[in-house]
Amino acid sequence: MTIQDWQPTTDLQKLQERAGLLANIRMFFADRGVLEVDTPILSHGTGTDPALEPIRAELITPGEPAREVFLQTSPEFAMKRLLAFGSGPIYQLSRAFRNGESGRRHNPEFTMLEWYRPGFTLDALMDEVTALVSHVLGCVPPDRVTYSSLFMEHLSIDPLESSLEQLKACARERLDISFDSRHPDHWLDLLFSHCIEPAIQAPLFIVNYPPSQAALAKVDIDHQGRSVARRFELVIAGMEIANGYQELTDVDEQRLRFQRDNHLRELSDLPVLPIDERLLAALEHGMPECAGVALGVDRLLMLKTGTDDISQVVSFPSGRA
């Protein structure tokens, strides 16, 4: 350990910028009558998404056996329980945790802004995201394009129609990789992150994802009669800033998706994760039709301050925590 290891990796100006950003976010939602909420970071259940790995902890309660709990990858499940309880529109500035994520744009612990709008369509939510991001960054309103059109533009393939072998061939033609997988989404993610996302500089909403990437979003039919996930991502300067859904409210479909996730985890030699039964009970009780979005606050601050490394906008990244 060096004498500098106790010091933050950011500077005073960026600490002040962060404080101002958080204050502006709270003012933005207060002006719109959206309630700020606070939910637990530790939970007995967690998301099953094979692409996200939670950080595990042991909870010791006097007189009871030790239990495994999880630091949440997102406050989503608890916030949806509040929606089912009747909270109305809500937002949260939360710490979130994802194991195995570290780099210039990733820290295992990060700040997430998540909000839900009962009665909103996905287009209405994108309008609100535009208002917030434009207010913070002073940028132009993002255009909106489909996931398929980006693949056609940059790679001349249709991600909704291409076979696994076609996706593999496309990736191996453009990238020097030894990677292999039987899952088409692994190849789509690889092509998007390496060949498409870096080329997106102006703010851009990407909509109509493959149904296999719906996660907790509804699936609908596009203008060509194809099934698509009703979700969006906002990319600015080659970096994902926000991920939004027309939220799934069907408890049976949600349970099935959790089970499918765990099956994919088994196939990928990843640990099976416990299904959040409290979320499913809330969905069964009835969650209002709504749209919701998660936005990376640290990444937004990176854009606002013109920095290219997350360690420059957080006080103590994982290496100095």
CATH label of the domain that carries residue 28 = 3.30.930.10
User: Residues 159-174: what's their mean pLDDT?
Assistant: 94
In this structure, is residue 279 part of a structural domain?
A: yes
178 vs 30, residue with greater confidence: 30
The torsion angle over the Cα atoms of residues 168, 174, 178 and 184, rounded to 10 degrees, is -30
Calculate the alpha carbon distances from 293 to 82, 129, 150, 178, 233 in Å: 15, 8, 22, 34, 9
User: Residues 208-213: what's their mean pLDDT?
Assistant: 95
Confidence of residue 224 (pLDDT cuts 50, 70, 90): confident
Instruction: Classify the C-alpha dihedral 163-231-143-185 as positive or negative.
Output: negative
Pairwise CA distance, residues 139 & 202, whole Å:
9
pLDDT value of residue 178: 84
User: Residues 121-143: what's their mean pLDDT?
Assistant: 96
Residue 177 has pLDDT above 90, yes or no: no
In this structure, is residue 8 part of a structural domain?
A: yes
Predicted TM-score (pTM) of the model is 0.95
Pairwise CA distance, residues 38 & 93, whole Å:
8
Q: Which secondary-structure segment (H or E) carries 117?
A: strand 109-118
Residue 1 has pLDDT above 80, yes or no: no
Is residue 319 within 8 A of residue 310, CB to CB? The reply is no
Residue 110 has pLDDT above 70, yes or no: yes
> Which residue range is the domain that position 117 belongs to?
3-142+248-320
Mean pLDDT of the chain: 95
User: Residues 284-307: what's their mean pLDDT?
Assistant: 98
Tokens at 141, concatenated: 């309103």
pLDDT value of residue 182: 87
User: Residues 153-164: what's their mean pLDDT?
Assistant: 95
Pairwise CA distance, residues 25 & 91, whole Å:
10
In this structure, is residue 307 part of a structural domain?
A: yes
Q: What are 233-278's pLDDT values in tens digits?
A: 999 999 999 999 999 999 999 999 999 999 999 988 999 999 999 9
In this structure, is residue 165 part of a structural domain?
A: no
Confidence of residue 3 (pLDDT cuts 50, 70, 90): low
pLDDT value of residue 223: 86
pLDDT value of residue 4: 81
In this structure, is residue 65 part of a structural domain?
A: yes
In this structure, is residue 19 part of a structural domain?
A: yes
pLDDT value of residue 251: 97
In this structure, is residue 281 part of a structural domain?
A: yes
Residue 106 has pLDDT above 80, yes or no: yes
* The total number of structural domains that make up the chain: 1
In this structure, is residue 148 part of a structural domain?
A: no
pLDDT value of residue 71: 96
pLDDT value of residue 140: 93
pLDDT value of residue 2: 73
